[in-house]
Structures are given as C-alpha cells and as structure tokens.
C-alpha cells in the first residue's frame, strides 16, 4: 500500500512538473489578436470586372434556302454553324480563297464573298453562300 502511494505521488508530481514546464508564457487575448492582425494584413478586395468581347456573326444565305453562320474567334479560327451544329475550324493556307477546316467540315470562301461548306468526304453541304 505504501508502495502504490509513493508511485502515485511520484506520477502526480512528475505530471505537474511536465505540464507546467511545457507551457509558454501566456499572452493576453488582445495581444494575440493584435499580433495575428499584423501578420495577416490582406489587400482590399478587387472589384469584379467583366470584360465583354464583341463577337460578330456573319450570316450566309445559300442555295436551297440553307443558312450558314460564321463567327470569327480570332484571325486563325472560326465557328461555323450549319443545321443546328457548330464546329470550330482552323485556317489553312491557300492561294485562291480563304479556307477553314477541321476533321469534319471544310469552309471555303472566294475573294468575291461566295462560300461553300463541304464535309470531309467532299460532299457539298451548302454552296453558293452569299453574305446577308
């Protein structure tokens, strides 16, 4: 019995010594808030700005009452809409006309402004397209 009391006394005193030795000198809550504010000063939030780019769409009226819509994205790519389907086409180098293509469609436009839309098997989807 004496032995267990001695062990309990030793354990309690060592626990108290351990806990009191590991604590840092206390800071008041106000000092903690002040130091935290000085460390993490954030810049004021920037205003939300939305930049709206004007995009023009060129509508072409073709033979058989078909319509093709061309929307230039930049100098090298366009969106072509035909029959509720839109594809992005990239420009290719030609001598006689403007030509845009991807793996499905080919849009050619001569320098008079007449355009033709073909698929990748050279089947004409829309021809004689004139800008409205």
What CATH number is associated with residue 118? 2.40.128
Residues with Cβ within 8 Å of residue 57, at least 6 apart in sequence: 69, 70, 71
pTM score, whole prediction: 0.59
Classify residue 124: in a domain, yes or no.
yes
> How many residues are given for the chain?
132
107 inside domain: yes
Which domain, by its residues, includes 105?
Answer: 58-131
How far apart CA 52 and CA 69 sit, in angstroms, is 21
- Least Cα distance to 101 among 83, 125, 84 occurs for 125
C-alpha distances out from residue 126 to 37, 69, 90, 91, 102, Å: 67, 11, 19, 19, 16
Number of domains in the chain: 1
Print pLDDT tens along the chain (132 aa): 666 777 777 877 776 766 665 555 667 777 777 666 666 666 677 777 777 767 789 999 999 999 999 999 988 999 999 999 999 999 988 888 899 999 999 999 998 889 999 999 999 999 999 998
């Amino acid at each position: 019995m004496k032995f267990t009391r001695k062990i309990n006394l030793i354990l309690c005193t060592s626990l108290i010594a351990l806990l009191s030795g590991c604590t840092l000198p206390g800071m008041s809550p106000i000092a903690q808030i002040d130091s935290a504010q000085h460390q993490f000063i954030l810049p004021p939030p920037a205003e939300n700005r939305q930049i709206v780019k004007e995009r023009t769409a060129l509508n072409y009226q073709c033979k058989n009452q078909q319509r093709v819509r061309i929307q230039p994205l930049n100098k090298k790519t366009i969106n072509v809409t035909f029959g509720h389907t839109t594809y992005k086409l990239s420009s290719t180098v030609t001598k006689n006309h403007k030509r845009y293509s991807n793996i499905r469609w080919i849009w050619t436009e001569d320098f008079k402004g007449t355009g033709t839309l073909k698929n990748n098997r050279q089947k004409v989807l829309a021809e004689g397209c004139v800008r409205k």
